[in-house]
Amino acid sequence: VGKLTAAMAPEDKVNLLSYIVPRFGSGDTAQDKALEAFVSGLKPTFAVIRSKCPAMDESDVQLLGSELLASEVLKPGRSTREEFAVWLGALNEVDLEFILTKRKSFKTDAKEDLVKFKDDREGEKKRVEERREKIQEQVTAARENRSVIFNPRTGKMEEAEKEGFKLPF
């Protein structure tokens, strides 16, 4: 699989592995057959996509082919290799381009969402910091302008001296 998908972007390979790796070692013969059908179906799937979309980049051919094959063949009982081949043969270039665009949009949408999240987080940080500064300014103004303070020795509120008055804290 690694050699057949050499042109794919690393994050797309990791995504593909997330489909494949959990299916190994299940002990289910149907799952083992599905894995074999997936691996043996990669080359023919890529060839069909290349023939229908000659201008498509090789990385996109591999991404589209592996995603389609994984979604249909890796889950036992969903589609056989033959059923998948018939379905793939019925798709045209517009269908394949649409599926590829939809697949790539997830990554684009996620990046946009991340940027929005970071902007929102920065805005919230700024808002909190501005609020903190405002409160600190109010505390400082209150300390400078207060006329009554609490005397911890007597336990009472007393009038503060205006001249030379400094709080102990």
- Which of 7-16, 30-39, 116-125 has maximum average pLDDT? 116-125
| CA distance readout (Å), 3 to 27, 39, 83, 130, 147 | 26, 11, 25, 54, 80
Whether 50 and 90 have beta carbons less than 8 Å apart is answered as: no
Whether 63 and 45 have beta carbons less than 8 Å apart is answered as: no
User: What percentage of residues in the chain have a pLDDT greater than 70?
Assistant: 95
d(Cα 53, Cα 159) in Å, to the nearest integer? 87
Q: What's the pLDDT tens digit per position in 23-74?
A: 787 778 888 888 888 888 889 999 999 999 999 999 999 999 998 988 888 8
The confidence score (pLDDT) of residue 168 equals 55
> What six digits make up the tokens of 138?
């109010």
Residue 125 binned pLDDT confidence (cut-offs 50, 70, 90): very high
Q: How many CA atoms lie within 13 A of 97 on its CB side?
A: 9
Q: Please name the residue ranges forming H helices in the chain.
A: 10-20, 29-52, 58-73, 81-90, 93-145
The confidence score (pLDDT) of residue 166 equals 57
**For the residues of 82-118, what is the DSSP string, one character each?**
HHHHHHHHH--HHHHHHHHHHHHHHHHHHHHHHHHHH
Residue 162 binned pLDDT confidence (cut-offs 50, 70, 90): low
Q: What is the DSSP letter of 56?
A: S
The confidence score (pLDDT) of residue 165 equals 53
